[in-house]
Amino acid sequence: MPITVKRLSNKSANNPNSDNPAQATLPAPAFNRQSGNVPYAATVQFSALDVPAGAVVEYSADGGTNWATGQAVTVLSETTILARTRLNNQVSATASAQYAPYFRRVFILGNSITGISPVPEIGWTGNWGMAASSADKDYVHLLTAQLKNRYADIQVKPIAGSSFERTWWTYDMSSSLDEHLPFDGNGPDLVIVRIGENMDDTQVEPQNLERYYRQLLDYLIKYSKGPVKVVCTTTFYAGQEKANAVIRKVAAEKGYPVADIQSLAGDATLRATQYSNAGLAQHPNDAGMQKIADLIWQVVK
């Protein structure tokens, strides 16, 4: 009698597109949160059911180049998480999910580039980031629009930090900041320290900017009851190498990212040269504001 031979597939419910028997015998992990926006510092967990004895769950946050054993990660920036089950040399199908953190309470310590009321004597009539052509063109509003794409009910508080810039060694943090830092019983979960342009570089060492800048960063998170992301920035103006060096050093010590706005200092096309007043003209124009917003967003997201 003729004999019919039929090859049976190794595909499984966990990975129906795979013919790899090693993958077919191990269940892939599942995530407890779907891909999407999650609160800053949210914990994402992943686990697999009915795993054989000795199997482990491992994950990768760099596209599969490196793997670590574990079943949870904390979302601190845009990330894609890969997860799989391993038993010796056998691995399951790879599960993946994409996450982006959102913020609820944002505090921005800035100067005239952040916002300033009219100064008619120099030709400034706006009430937003100086030299932007309209409120929606300054970096605060551009950045806020990006943040609202992830969380529509976000609160953003920009305030002036020019007093710290000019005389940081006598700056009273309590009287200057305490009324602004709280958000309905909590502190910010995102702090952007967008200052520096008014600093006198010759005073950086004599007046110990490093000490006071470190104290400022600590003070800005005093009301926050949960994790906080702190973003520092260098300056839009040139000639402040010592101040920028201090900003980078202290931020690095604390593990805070720095938006390197100083990289824009040499580009005259980003300045508001349409104004005759020299002080106003050195501020960022609309293109400069967009660049500042983009650089900050890259380290925020």
User: In this structure, are 73 and 120 located in the same domain?
Assistant: no
Q: How far apart are CA 9 and CA 30, in angstroms?
A: 24
Q: In the numeric block, which tokens belong to residue 210?
A: 């490093």
Burial degree of 115 (CB within 10 A; 0-12, 13-18, 19+): buried
User: In this structure, are 183 and 284 located in the same domain?
Assistant: yes
Residue with structure tokens 């997201």? 301
Q: Is the dihedral of CA 251, 270, 190, 158 positive or negative?
A: positive
User: In this structure, are 178 and 268 located in the same domain?
Assistant: yes
Tally the domains of the chain: 2
Give domain status of residue 6, yes or no. Answer: no
Q: What is residue 17's predicted lDDT score, i.e. its pLDDT?
A: 40
User: In this structure, are 93 and 122 located in the same domain?
Assistant: no
Q: 57 in helix, strand or coil?
A: strand
User: In this structure, are 83 and 145 located in the same domain?
Assistant: no
Give domain status of residue 142, yes or no. Answer: yes
φ/ψ of 31, rounded to 5, equals: -90, 145
φ/ψ of 276, rounded to 5, equals: -85, -30
The percent helix, strand, coil of the chain (3-state, each to 5) is 30, 25, 50
User: In this structure, are 153 and 52 located in the same domain?
Assistant: no
User: In this structure, are 247 and 112 located in the same domain?
Assistant: yes
Give domain status of residue 229, yes or no. Answer: yes
The predicted-structure confidence for 36-70, as pLDDT tens digits, reads as follows 999 999 999 999 999 999 999 999 999 999 999 99
Last residue of a domain, one of 44, 72, 101: 101
User: In this structure, are 187 and 132 located in the same domain?
Assistant: yes
Give domain status of residue 107, yes or no. Answer: yes
The domain that contains 109 carries what CATH number? 3.40.50.1110
Q: In the numeric block, which tokens belong to residue 276?
A: 């005759």
Q: 138 in helix, strand or coil?
A: coil
Give domain status of residue 7, yes or no. Answer: no
Closest C-alpha to 95, from 41, 157, 15? 15
Q: Where are the beta strands (DSSP E) in 61-180?
A: 68-69, 72-75, 79-87, 90-91, 95-102, 105-110, 155-160
Q: What is residue 19's predicted lDDT score, i.e. its pLDDT?
A: 47
Give domain status of residue 13, yes or no. Answer: no
Q: What is residue 185's predicted lDDT score, i.e. its pLDDT?
A: 86
Positions in the chain short of pLDDT 50: 1-23
Q: What is residue 25's predicted lDDT score, i.e. its pLDDT?
A: 82
Angle at 94 between CA 91 and CA 97, to 5 degrees: 150
Range of the domain at 211: 103-300
Q: How far apart are CA 191 and CA 183, in angstroms?
A: 12
The domain that contains 35 carries what CATH number? 2.60.40
User: In this structure, are 143 and 170 located in the same domain?
Assistant: yes
54: left (phi over 0), alpha (psi -120 to 50) or beta: left
Q: 271 in helix, strand or coil?
A: strand
User: In this structure, are 160 and 37 located in the same domain?
Assistant: no
User: In this structure, are 109 and 199 located in the same domain?
Assistant: yes
Contact 284, 269 (CB under 8 A): no
The predicted-structure confidence for 93-120, as pLDDT tens digits, reads as follows 999 999 999 999 999 999 999 999 999 9
Q: What is residue 91's predicted lDDT score, i.e. its pLDDT?
A: 96
Q: Which long-range contacts (CB under 8 A, 24 or more apart) does 265-271 make?
A: 265/235, 265/236, 265/237, 265/238, 266/238
Give domain status of residue 179, yes or no. Answer: yes
Q: How far apart are CA 300 and CA 157, in angstroms?
A: 16
Last residue of a domain, one of 60, 86, 101: 101
The three state secondary structure string of 232-263 is EECCCCCCCHHHHHHHHHHHHHHCCCEECHHH
- Residue 2's contacts (CB-CB under 8 Å, 6 or more residues apart) are none
User: In this structure, are 230 and 251 located in the same domain?
Assistant: yes
- Give the CA distances from residue 6 to residues 1, 3, 165, 176, 273, in Å, rounded to whole numbers and listed in that order: 16, 10, 79, 80, 78
Give domain status of residue 23, yes or no. Answer: no
Last residue of a domain, one of 73, 101, 129: 101
φ/ψ of 218, rounded to 5, equals: -65, -40
